[in-house]
Amino acid sequence: MNWISNYVRPRINSLFSRREVPENLWTKCSECGTMLFHREFTENLNVCTSCDHHMGITPRERFHALFDGNVFTEVDVPAPLDDPLHFKDQKRYPDRIKAARKDTGEREAMLVAEGKIGRTPIVAAAQDFSFMAGSMGMYVGNAIIAAAERAVAAKRPLVLFSAAGGARMQEGILSLMQMPRTTVAVQMLKEAGLPYIVVLTHPTTGGVTASYAMLGDVHIAEPNALICFAGPRVIEQTIREKLPDGFQRAEYLLDHGMLDRVTHRKDMKDELVTILRMLTGKGPAVMGDLPKPEDVVETKEKPEDAPAKPKDEAPKT
Amino acid sequence: MTNYLEFEKPLAEIEGKAEELRALARANKEMDVEGEAAGLDAKASALLKELYKDLTPWRKCQVARHPDRPHCKDYIEALFTEYTPLAGDRNFADDHAVMGGLARLGDVPVVVMGQEKGNDTKSRIERNFGMARPEGYRKVIRLMDLADRFGLPIVMLVDTPGAYPGKGAEERGQSEAIARSTERSLNVKSPVISVIIGEGGSGGAVALATANTVMMLEHSIYSVISPEGCASILWKDSDKMREAAEALRLTAQDLKQLGVIDQIIPEPMGGAQRGRSESINAVGKAIEAELKALKKRQKGDALLKERREKFLKMGAKGLAA
């Protein structure tokens, strides 16, 4: 019952609801207010065609655009305990999760997939800001560990797209423990000699920035993304002064030495391919939108060395 | 002069009366007040027991933040000999919110470090109330490098409201510094012991609490966010900190049940602030015992692997309904 209501039903809903989106829907840019033709907007990867403002994009949409031939295989993430603290604020935590699943059609705040980009095999993980602000709880921790384990087993680089308000308060201390847990995942990659690239997207804050998002071999950010440990409001309250323009934005961090690059979303794929192929000693890449890889059957099938599905996969009731 | 917490007000009254009586008797030799004062003492001690028998999470927060509680510096001075402070991050500055260096515990040379909150206005400002900046976390990394290079055990004492949320701290990479210090603590071959002696505030604490053995004093707290912060975000009302403290499960007892910490060190009746040396000694004994146990398991990178495994497995246990 739980599995069906929590997982299968939202997926089915999302399939149908997506088809219901009319072609002529308009989207308003949250920065400059320009009304954007929905189809053009999504074709431009949710970047405003007028002011270049990078709006949120779901992991599924991002992966669709990222992987060659729009093909990727999801990597299984072991389900954590539901509501380990029996947390209740104004709402019960399980109700908040249920609502987020219904709204997004996703199981949780991170999606892990494997496939090829520019004919380069990778594992990718992307955080979903639309799912409870992408907050890092047990599931996100499990997802990063699963991604790292898969990358190590298949000897592929890991590309991680971060987006989160921080740790998931409703999991209390267990969300904080995802900082060391995900750090161990990053260490697995480093010790296996595999590249770990972090793409920081708007916003990446709190405990997420203070763990896996700042431990990459290469840090790339999307333009104007807010990246910080303490949010600007907290800092203004603490130091009682106005912060400079652009404070804690991607370009500011680039200036202060915390990032390697700030890259437009439409150039991200080519840049990732270029960097990854050099880091892994492969020849120059074929760029652009590539058709489905010929050996796609292989990548779609579960390779033999895939981590076994853990026994606690079925969510607890 | 005892600093009373809000919930200790009734206690303050009784103890105050007893004190007044005794003061009167001292001024007037003919008065015999001892009987009455002893009665008040008994009443006070019964009330103290009653108050501390079952502290609510919010009251624990208040006790954990009590200004008279022994701080990092008190523990280091009392428990270690030959303490030799080492300073600086070799990059920008020396952060006084984090103190640490070489010292001996018994005969054993160790690297000891922790956040220090300060105990009067001047030292609190100098220590930035125990809120470290990136330099502090980079000093932690340096000290861990040193310990690792010479095979010295690492002892960390955690007591911080959190990492400092300031402009300069952000510009110099607060997140990166915290991330790297956590990473370093998961890379050390030496035994690592951590004791949360007061407040374990979020990301600023986790960097010093990624250890083989994490212990907590009975009335200390360890949380992903302060109850006040959580209340203002989830309840949209910072006055709901009692509810938030309850929901966050930040007490040593809950964290032990969750498997996040390994051991609870008991505090004297009325909290560490009422029995400072007793608390300090209890912490010392616990560290010494753990150090012995860890040394037995220290072979190659066995403790490093153990530490990583421990954190990977965390979260398998929930709280009983």
Q: With bands split at pLDDT 50, 70 and 90, how would you rate the model's confidence at A18? A: low
pLDDT-wise least confident of A10-24, A44-58, B196-210, B302-316: A10-24
Output phi, psi for B307, to 5 deg: -60, -45
Report the Cα B99 to chain-centroid distance in Å. Answer: 14
Q: Which residue has the higher pLDDT, A310 or B135?
A: B135
Contacts of B252 in chain A (CB under 8 A): none
Task: Tell which wins on pLDDT, A317 or A182.
Answer: A182
- With bands split at pLDDT 50, 70 and 90, how would you rate the model's confidence at A310? very low
B179: CB partners within 8 A, 6+ apart:
A179, A183, A209, A210, A211, A212, A213, A214, A215
B25 interfaces chain A, CB cutoff of 8 Å: no
- Indicate whether A288 pLDDT > 90: no
A207 close to B (CB below 8 A): yes
pLDDT at A67 over 70: yes
Q: What pLDDT is attached to residue A302?
A: 44
pLDDT of amino acid A309: 45
Q: Which of B138, B171, B175 to mutate to test the interface with A (most CBs of A within 10 A)?
A: B175
Residue A314 has pLDDT above 50, yes or no: no
**Residues in chain B within 8 Å Cβ distance of A234:** 165
| Interchain contact A84–B (C-beta under 8 A) | yes
Rounded distance between C-alpha atoms, residue B282 and residue B226, angstroms: 27
Is A304 a residue whose pLDDT tops 50?
no
- pLDDT tier at A145, thresholds 50, 70, 90: very high
Alpha carbon of B100: minimum distance to chain A alpha carbons (Å): 22
Nearest by CB to residue B315, choosing from A84, A206, A235, is A84
Q: What is the pLDDT of residue B78?
A: 98
pLDDT classification of B162: cutoffs 50, 70, 90: very high
- What count of CB pairs under 8 Å joins A to B? 165
Closest residue, chain B, to A142 (C-alpha): B312
Q: What is the CA radius of gyration of chain B?
A: 21
Nearest residue in B to A171, CA atom: B248
Residue A296 confidence class, pLDDT cut points 50, 70, 90 = low
Lowest mean pLDDT among A182-191, B29-38, B130-139: B29-38
CB proximity B220 to A under 8 Å: no
Predicted pLDDT at A14 = 64
Please say if the pLDDT value at position B25 is more than 60: yes
Predicted local confidence at residue A131, as pLDDT: 97
Q: What is the mean pLDDT of residues A157-176?
A: 96
Q: Compare A151 and A19 and report the one with higher pLDDT.
A: A151
pLDDT of residue A313: 43
Q: What is the reported pLDDT for B101?
A: 98
Q: How close B202 comes to chain A (CA, Å)? A: 7
Query: With contacts defined as CB-CB under 8 Å, which chain A residues touch B321?
Result: 86
Among A135, A136, A183, A218, which would you mutate to test the B interface (most chain B Cβ atoms within 10 Å of its Cβ)?
A183
- Above pLDDT 70, what percent of chain A? 85
**Cα of A158 to nearest chain B Cα, Å:** 18
Instruction: Say yes or no for a CB contact (<8 Å) between B247 and A84.
Output: no
C-alpha A54/C-alpha A259 separation (Å) is 18
Q: Give the C-alpha separation, A82 to B180, whole Å.
A: 30
pLDDT above 80 for A9 = no
Q: Name chain B contacts of A167, Cβ cutoff 8 Å.
A: 202, 224-225
What is the nearest CA distance from A110 to chain B, expressed in angstroms?
A: 18
Residue A206 to residue B203, Cβ atoms within 8 A: yes
Alpha-carbon gap: B29 to the closest alpha carbon of chain A (Å): 55
Residue B93 near chain A (CB below 8 Å): no
CA dist., res. A206 & res. A229, Å (int): 4
Residue B275 has pLDDT above 60, yes or no: yes
Q: Chain B: nearest CA to A137, how far in angstroms?
A: 10
Average pLDDT taken over every residue of chain A: 88
- Residue B179 forms contact with A (CB below 8 Å): yes
| Across A47-56, A172-181, B31-40, least confident range | B31-40
Rounded CA-CA distance B272/B64 in Å is 9
**A92, A93, A179: best to mutate for the B interface, most B CBs within 10 A:** A179
Dump strand ranges (E) for A50-103: 73-74
Smallest CA-to-CA distance from B275 within B115, B116, B61, B68 is with B68
Q: What integer is the mean pLDDT of A178-194?
A: 97
pLDDT of residue B23: 87
Average pLDDT of the segment spanning A288-292: 73
Q: Determine what percent of chain B is predicted with pLDDT higher than 70.
A: 99
Q: Give A18→chain B minimum CA distance, Å.
A: 31
Share of residues in chain A with pLDDT > 90 (%):
75
List phi, psi (to 5°) of B28: -125, 100
Question: pLDDT (tens digit, 9 = 90+) per residue, B50-81?
Answer: 999 999 999 999 999 999 999 999 999 999 99
Q: Which chain A residue has its CA at the smallest distance from B243's CA?
A: A89
pLDDT at B256 over 60: yes
Alpha carbons B116 and B198: distance in angstroms, whole number: 10
Minimum Cα–Cα distance from A136: chain B residue: B224
Q: Tell me, what amino acid is at A75?
A: V
C-alpha dist (Å) from residue B148 to A190, B82, B222: 19, 20, 27
Higher per-residue pLDDT: B32 or A34: A34
**What pLDDT is recorded for position B65?**
96
Quote the pTM value: 0.90
The per-residue pLDDT for B278 is 96
For residue B247, give the nearest of A88, A207, A228 by CB distance: A88
**Mean confidence (pLDDT) of chain B:** 95
pLDDT at B316: 82
Angle between helices B241-248 and B57-64 (to 10 degrees): 100
pLDDT at B34 over 90: no
* Residue appearing with tokens 């989106």: A21
pLDDT at residue B36 in the model: 86
**Given CB atoms, is B221 within the 8 Å cutoff of chain A?**
no
pLDDT band at B29 (very low <50, low <70, confident <90, very high): confident
Residues A101 and A103: their CA atoms lie apart, in Å, by 6
| Interface membership of A239 toward B (CB under 8 Å) | yes
Asked whether the beta carbons of residue A169 and residue B312 sit closer than 8 angstroms, the reply is: no
Query: CB distance from B314 to chain A under 8 Å?
Result: yes
> Looking at the complex, does the CB of residue B315 fall below 8 Å from at least one CB of chain A?
yes
Q: What is the pLDDT of residue A2?
A: 65
Q: How confident is the model at residue A295 (pLDDT cuts 50, 70, 90)?
A: low
User: Is there a contact between B308 and A187 if contact means CB atoms under 8 Å apart?
Assistant: yes
CA distance B206 to chain A (A): 8
pLDDT at position B105 over 70: yes
Question: How distant is the Cα of B263 from the closest Cα of chain A, in angstroms?
Answer: 16
ipTM: 0.94
How far is it, in rounded angstroms, from Cα B158 to Cα B205?
A: 6
How confident is the model over B209-251, as pLDDT tens digits? 999 999 999 999 999 999 999 999 999 998 999 999 999 999 9
